[in-house]
Amino acid sequence: MIQRRFMLGFNRAGQILEQLEQAGIISPMKNGQRKVL
What confidence tens digit (pLDDT) does each residue in 1-37 have?
789 999 999 999 999 999 999 999 999 988 878 888 8
Buried b (16+ CB within 10 A) or exposed e, 4-29: eeeeeeeeebeeeeeebeeeeebeee
What pLDDT is attached to residue 10?
A: 94
Predicted confidence at residue 36, as pLDDT, reads: 84
Class of domain 1-37: mainly alpha
- What is the domain partition of the chain in residue ranges? 1-37
**16 within 8 A of 8, measured Cβ to Cβ:** yes
Q: What are phi and psi of 30, to 5 degrees?
A: -140, 115
